[in-house]
């Protein structure tokens, strides 16, 4: 890094700061140059946009509140549903196991020559 001093990187930074000027978001000269009608239209548009955004936020908050309430009610009832689903599964599993045992017995009986068991 020949030719670069310890503070050599500061020169571009200082130059950028010296040349740049702060941007004015609300230029006071602009207000003075516009007519009262233009300022009134701007004020009305700003009010309309603010009201539109406020309505959007109210709708969004109401929707989120409904969804939260639904999720809380679903979550509290779901614990009982899980127990019921587990009992239903256990009952269905027992019925399946009985049916499979009956089928295996029929297959064994069929192979043993009891052909009336082969039709199931």
Q: Is residue 89 part of a domain?
A: yes
Flag whether the pTM goes above 0.75. Answer: no
What pLDDT is stored for residue 5 in this prediction? 57
Our count of domains for the chain comes to: 1
The pLDDT tens digits for 65-77 are 998 888 777 655 5
Per-residue b or e along 62-81, where b marks 16 or more CB atoms closer than 10 Å to that residue's CB: eeeeeeeeeeeeeeeeeeee
Distance CA 115, CA 3 (A): 103
What pLDDT is stored for residue 66 in this prediction? 92
Q: Is residue 61 part of a domain?
A: yes
What pLDDT is stored for residue 15 in this prediction? 66
pLDDT below 50 — which residues of the chain?
1
Q: Domain range holding 47?
A: 33-117
């Amino acid at each position: 890094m020949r030719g670069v001093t310890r503070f050599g990187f500061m020169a571009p930074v200082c130059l950028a700061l010296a040349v740049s000027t702060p941007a004015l978001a609300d230029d006071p000269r602009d207000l003075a140059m516009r007519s009262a009608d233009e300022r009134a239209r701007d004020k009305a548009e700003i009010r309309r946009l603010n009201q539109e955004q406020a309505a959007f936020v109210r709708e969004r908050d109401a929707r989120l509140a409904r969804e939260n309430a639904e999720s809380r009610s679903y979550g509290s009832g779901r614990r009982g549903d899980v127990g019921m689903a587990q009992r239903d599964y256990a009952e269905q599993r027992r019925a399946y196991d009985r049916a499979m045992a009956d089928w295996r017995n029929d297959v064994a009986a069929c192979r043993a020559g009891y052909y009336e068991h082969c039709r199931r």
